[in-house]
Amino acid sequence: MKIAIIGGGLAGLTAAAYLSENRELEGTVFERSPQLGGRAFTYQKAGFTLNYGAHAIYGIDRHTIHQMEHDLGLVFQSKQVDKRKVVYAKNGHLTPAPLDFMNIIKTDVLSAMEKVRFVAEIAAIVGNVHHIKNYATLGDYLDHSHASEDVKEIWEHLVCSNFFITPADARKVSGEVIAEYYHNLFLSSKPVNYILGSWATITDQLKDKIEANAHWEIALKEPVEQIVQQDNGKFLLTSKNREATEYDQIIIATPVQQAVKLLDNTPWADALIPYRDSTSTEVMVYDIGFKSIVARPFHYISDMNNKMFISDVSATDHTVVPPGGQLLQGIAYLNDDFKDEDERKAYLENKTAKMEALFDEYYPEWRESVEVKRVSKKAMVSSVKNIHTNRLLPNQLDHVPFYFCGDGSVGKGELAERAFSSARKVAQQVLSHILKNPEGASTL
């Protein structure tokens, strides 16, 4: 049986790595860009290793990557961001981020009574008895909650930082999503970890795994342009530089927006209508690398007033810098409701200025020391923002004979974890489908 996987990001590579373990299958991973990794792509610049996107793995001991480590024999090291060096800044004042019991005691964003209340809320989430799961959104819950404004602000801010969204959007995340997400995270003993050596450590191993099976191929610079179902139920897939090729099954592992585009004007287009207008999560990213350490007042600072943060990536992962160097990544959460392009441009310029002001405040003289710099004013963190007005794309749709995975599809966790978990699930579904229907083709 022959399988085509469209997209060579974390999801496509994960699905292919699982499927390539089955000796009955052959397949192709189609990737439109010249490199693998998608939004988790890593590149080298002047001795620095820069992640285009993701750094953090939230709750690694309960994360899908932990299962993949066992299932696929992945080998990697991870390091926890030092919780004592994670701070919140509010009105110019720094205080420990209330990430664990010790930090909650020390922080002054909450009073003693508020700390008791917040700890009780965490316990209720861990015990699966928190009322938030019964509310349509975080906003609805907060409106009904008797907690103080500071406790409410902490809730909003936590959701901003884990979902990479603004407070207005944080209030739109469903109560059920929040209950499930924080149940997992609060039970983790490793809330924020980095994979040492960047995401390439994972994507390289997934690639090697796929290529170890001679019946699998990775096709770079090969965008898929068309899929047609034939009378025999199989699919003819056309990509940029190849003759149309027949496949039995297709997995679409692209952002939802690209899946919608690919299936436009096909018999399956209507099934995607409910998913095509979902909004994505976008942030501004500001990476700067220095030859030597400019300052190291903390390892992560979250600016509660301006909704942006700076990670000192190299404080946790020294492998991403030349010896003695420093790599900072600033990220700002962005609004997406502008009346016109001018308003959007002015907003982004203002965000950039605020980010630079944050660097000025805690890393004085950083401007003179910059060795590498990359600013992206609109990086897509998640193809579907997980707010109640958006819908994640199911892994299978009625009357559509393909599987879907990626960070905009249904799966456990947020961001990269949803890309991994949805792909793992899809690969398992394909394998069980094949076991039941050894003749294979598209009997979905």
Ligand X SMILES: Cc1cc2nc3c(=O)[nH]c(=O)nc-3n(C[C@H](O)[C@H](O)[C@H](O)COP(=O)(O)OP(=O)(O)OC[C@H]3O[C@@H](n4cnc5c(N)ncnc54)[C@H](O)[C@@H]3O)c2cc1C
Q: Which residues bind ligand X (CB under 6 A)?
A: 6-12, 30-33, 38-40, 53-56, 223-224, 253-255, 258, 262, 283, 285, 379-382, 406-407, 415-417, 419
- Ramachandran area for residue 107 (φ above 0: left; ψ -120 to 50: alpha; else beta): beta
Minimum separation from the CB atom of position 25 to ligand X (A)? 20
List of residues 6+ apart from 113 with CB closer than 8 A: 148
Question: Cα–Cα distances in Å, from 235 out to 7, 23, 80, 162, 266?
Answer: 17, 21, 45, 39, 13
Which one, 51 or 442, has the nearer CB to ligand X? Answer: 51
- Euclidean distance between CA atoms 139 and 135, whole angstroms: 9
Which one, 172 or 412, has the nearer CB to ligand X? Answer: 412
- Euclidean distance between CA atoms 328 and 285, whole angstroms: 10
Minimum separation from the CB atom of position 52 to ligand X (A)? 6
The set of long-range contacts for 423-427, using a CB threshold of 8 Å and a minimum separation of 24, is 423/10, 423/11, 423/12, 423/13, 423/14, 423/15, 423/18, 423/253, 424/14, 424/15, 424/18, 424/64, 424/67, 424/68, 424/71, 425/395, 426/15, 426/251, 426/395, 427/14, 427/15, 427/18, 427/19
- Reduced DSSP (H G I as helix, E B as strand, rest coil) percent helix, strand, coil of the chain, to 5: 40, 25, 35
The DSSP 8-state label assigned to residue 291 in this structure reads: S
Minimum separation from the CB atom of position 199 to ligand X (A)? 8
Which one, 98 or 255, has the nearer CB to ligand X? Answer: 255
Which one, 64 or 326, has the nearer CB to ligand X? Answer: 64
Q: Where would I find the H helices in 35-174? A: 64-72, 101-106, 112-126, 138-144, 149-163, 167-170
Minimum separation from the CB atom of position 111 to ligand X (A)? 31
Which one, 151 or 384, has the nearer CB to ligand X? Answer: 384
Minimum separation from the CB atom of position 362 to ligand X (A)? 20
Minimum separation from the CB atom of position 330 to ligand X (A)? 10
- Euclidean distance between CA atoms 297 and 274, whole angstroms: 47
Which one, 151 or 405, has the nearer CB to ligand X? Answer: 405
Which one, 19 or 416, has the nearer CB to ligand X? Answer: 416
Which one, 141 or 309, has the nearer CB to ligand X? Answer: 309
The DSSP 8-state label assigned to residue 444 in this structure reads: -
Minimum separation from the CB atom of position 117 to ligand X (A)? 29
